[in-house]
Structure formats: structure tokens, C-alpha cells
Amino acid sequence: MSDTTLDIVELLLTAHIYNKYPELDVNDLPKNIRKYYWSREHKTVPKPIKVKVTDIEKLLQISNVSSHTGSLPFVDIDDMGFLMRITALDVGAEWFQKMDESRERISHNPVLAFYYEKKETEGVDYSSAKTKVRPKEVDREWIESFIEEIAKEEGGDDMLKLVEISAPEDIKQTLRDFILTTEQEDEVKKIVKAIQYKDYLKHIGLYDVGKVLMVGPPGTGKTSLAKAMSEHLSIPFVEVRLSMITDQYLGETAKNIDRVFSLAKRVSPCILFIDEFDFVAKTRSSDEHAALKRAVNTLLKAIDGISLTNDGVLLLAATNHPRMLDSAAWRRFDEIMKFPLPEPEMRKKILDIVTKEIKGKFDTEEIASLTHGYSGSDLRMVIREGVLSALVTERMEITQKDLLNAVVSFDERATIKTNEYEPVM
Ligand SMILES: Nc1ncnc2c1ncn2[C@@H]1O[C@H](COP(=O)(O)OP(=O)(O)O)[C@@H](O)[C@H]1O
Ligand SMILES: [Mg+2]
């Protein structure tokens, strides 16, 4: 039996079983089916799923659909050649189960696993199939539904300017691409556990968890780690753009900040990320516009009013200038995650991970020893420079010389940057 036929039958069975059992919900559907039948309006995959021939063509990239299922007695295409369905679930399910690949497919499809487990099929485990499918919150479609809904509300557009929402599946740099310090690793583990056991924490009355301040110089990975956490935890990433506060009509801003936080509670579970948190300090110490100060106070109050245990919102804030923050701002965080400039050993590891797909003969240990004071981001730039200059001479393999030159030009650049306003002699 061809894969194509199996694909079609799997889809038809999945739709049929999903429609039939009220216990099954959108998170039981395999990702491709869930994304395809997603309804923005309903923010779910409404039942019943009706499988059209054109759906099969699009979703499974199959042409000539009826030629693949013509010989199957339990598959029916309506008179118009339009809708496809299973006419006898028992017969279809039995046929499917006999196929070589069925075991593998069922183990990745919670809807099917639910059915076959009910039928007491050996080796089928619904809860294990569930772990293979990530929840709907990772999908772009889920986020887009939210954004659409909010845009329709009064003032929704203004508020959406203050935030940027990303779906976990769109986050490119994952935890696997990161080199963490031992301390950072521990912090990450604690966050993962706090989310996993958030009901327990609530039960024992530990509410002050889930607010983390990330502290360290630019380019040490604060923003990217916050995003990678969202990918890792399969929860959406909501970023507040503090710079927008100053651009907006200030009277509305305080209100919009409140709405951003209530949005985060609606998207929940999610990560709410506030970058450049030191912005808060600037407005508190200087005599800025009164409305701006009001906005910042609203922000601090809003931070107090949100929690991981009650609202499912993990708050991450980042700053390059910890000294600017006063104790009132510090007090709001229960964990501090430090982002130091990397030590030689860590620099080597970062270089190794950045160059893992790059061919050539080079010694990252030497480069690590020459790059004191470089951030992770600087190291990335060195590699990029090395790759590009190799490409100039049509080479897709880099040499140690390429990298050494890149370090020299990076150092030169740093000098230019710091001497920007020195007179030329
Ligand atoms: N420890 C690290 N491991 C891997 N990549 C890193 C590390 N630190 C920084 N980088 C890379 O440097 C770039 C810039 O990091 P970013 O998150 O913007 O830093 P920050 O927010 O601290 O200024 C990212 O592409 C990131 O992947
Ligand atoms: Mg950043």
C-alpha cells in the first residue's frame, strides 16, 4: 500500500474519530491537520471536520485523490466528487492497523491513539502520543487569531503597537543553539519546574515565582535566551516595546500598558518580555513629562499585579544597565539571571556552536584566547566576517587566517567606535 493512500486514510480516520468523540479536543490533532483546519474566528478546530478532496490536495500535496482510494470499500466520495469520508469506522480502522507503518503513525497521532487504546490494541498508548504533539499555543495560527480579535476591539490597534507577539514555532534560535553558564542552566531548570508545578506552588502559597530580571552587557544573549525559553516551553512570546511608550500619545499609554498586561493574561500561558527595562529608571530619576512618569508607574503596578501561579504569565525583563535601577524596581523580581561576558572556555564553546555547519580548518581555541571582552554576539560577528571574506574569493571553507583577520578588523572597528569624536590628527 502506498504512503499516499495511508496519508489519506489517516486523515479521514482522524477527522472521523475527532468528530465522533467529545473527549477529543484541538490539542489531540496532529499539527498539520490542526493548522490546516484552524478557524481564526473560533480559535480552535471546530467540529465536525469535513474533508474535501481539495483539502487533501492542499494538505497532503496529493493529486488525483480518488485514484488512490478507489479500491477501498470504507471510503466514500460524494456524488459531486467533493467530500470524502469513512463509511465504516471499524472496517477502516482495522485495515489501517494492518499496515506496516500504522504503529509509527498511531504513536504520533493522539486522535488515533485514543481510538486504538479504547479498542485495547496492543502497544498503543494515548498519553505517550500526546507528548509527541506540541499544544496549539506553538502555532502561528493561534497567535494570529488573537491578534485579529484584539485589533477589532476599541483601541486594539494602539495597544498592538506596544507589543510584538511571536509563536514558538517561529523562533529560530533554540536552547540547543545556546551556551549557558552553569548558573543560567540552573535558572532555566527552575523556571521550567515552576511552570510545570505551578498549581502545586499556588496550593502551598508560593506566589512570588516567575519574575526574572536578566542582567548583563549587550550581546550576551538576554533577548535570544528569553525567546528560546518560549520555544522550549511551547508558550507564546509577548514582547512589550518600551520605546513605543515615548512615541505614543501619552494620555493613552498608561491605559494601554494595563491592556498589554491583560492581553498577556488572555494569551496565557505565555512569556511577557520587557526589554531595556532600565528605561523605567531613566524616567523616574529625571524630570520627564508627568504623563510619561504615570505610564511607568502603571507599568510597575502592572508587574505587581501579574503572576505565574495565578495568571500563567512568566515575566522576563532585561537590562544592560543594572546600576540605573532603584530598589523599587529590583524588588519586583524574585530571580536575577546574570549574563556575564564569556570566559575563554565559554567563548570556545560559542565559537564551536556557531561554526558547527561551517567547513574548513580552523582552531576555535586560539580565537577564543584572542577575544577577551567579546560578547557572544561579537563572536558571531567575527565568524560572519570570516565566512564573508572567504566567499569573496569563492571559498565555502574558511581558514584560521580568515578568522584571525576577522578578529583584527573587529578590534579596529571597536577602536573606531570608541574614538568616534576624537579629532583626526
Ligand atoms: N551564550 C551564547 N550562546 C550562543 N549564542 C549567543 C550567546 N550569547 C550571545 N549569543 C548570540 O549573540 C546574538 C545577540 O544576542 P542578544 O540576545 O541580542 O543579546 P542581548 O539581548 O543580551 O543584547 C544572538 O544571535 C545570540 O545568539
Ligand atoms: Mg537584547
pLDDT number for residue 351: 97
Q: For 91-149, write each residue's pLDDT tens digit.
A: 999 999 999 889 999 999 999 999 999 999 999 999 999 998 888 888 898 888 888 88
Pocket test of ligand 1: the residue of 174, 176, 179, 220 to mutate, having most ligand atoms within 8 Å of its CB, is: 220
pLDDT number for residue 340: 96
Q: Which ligand lies nearest to the CA atom of residue 346 in the structure?
A: 1
Q: Which stretches within 70-177 are classed as H helix? A: 89-98, 102-107, 110-118, 126-132, 140-152, 156-160
Asked whether 349 lines ligand 1 (CB < 6 A), one says no
Asked whether 219 lines ligand 1 (CB < 6 A), one says yes
CB 323 within 8 A of CB 215: no
* Distance from Cα 226 to the centre of ligand 1, integer Å: 10
- How far, in whole angstroms, is CA 199 from its chain's centroid? 23
Q: For 271-313, write each residue's pLDDT tens digit.
A: 999 998 988 777 666 666 777 788 888 888 999 999 999 999 9
pLDDT number for residue 250: 61
Nearest C-alpha to atom 15 of ligand 1 is from which residue?
Answer: 221
Cβ neighbourhood burial of 373 (10 Å; 0-12, 13-18, 19+): exposed
Which domains, ranges and CATH numbers included, belong to the chain? 3-133 (no CATH), 139-338 (3.40.50.300), 344-418 (1.10.8.60)
How high is the mean pLDDT in each 10-residue block of the chain (425 residues)?
87 97 95 92 92 92 84 86 91 93 94 96 93 87 86 83 90 94 95 91 89 96 96 93 68 80 90 90 68 82 92 95 85 93 97 96 96 96 96 95 95 76 55
Q: Which ligand lies nearest to the CA atom of residue 224 in the structure?
A: 1
pLDDT number for residue 323: 86
Nearest C-alpha to atom 12 of ligand 1 is from which residue?
Answer: 377
Residue length of the chain? 425
What phi, psi does 44 have (nearest 5°)? -165, -175
* Distance from Cα 83 to the centre of ligand 2, integer Å: 50
Asked whether 377 lines ligand 1 (CB < 6 A), one says yes
* Distance from Cα 210 to the centre of ligand 1, integer Å: 22
pLDDT number for residue 407: 96
Nearest C-alpha to atom 7 of ligand 1 is from which residue?
Answer: 376
Asked whether 227 lines ligand 1 (CB < 6 A), one says no
Distance CA(176)–CA(290), nearest Å, equals 45
CB 297 within 8 A of CB 329: no
Asked whether 14 lines ligand 1 (CB < 6 A), one says no
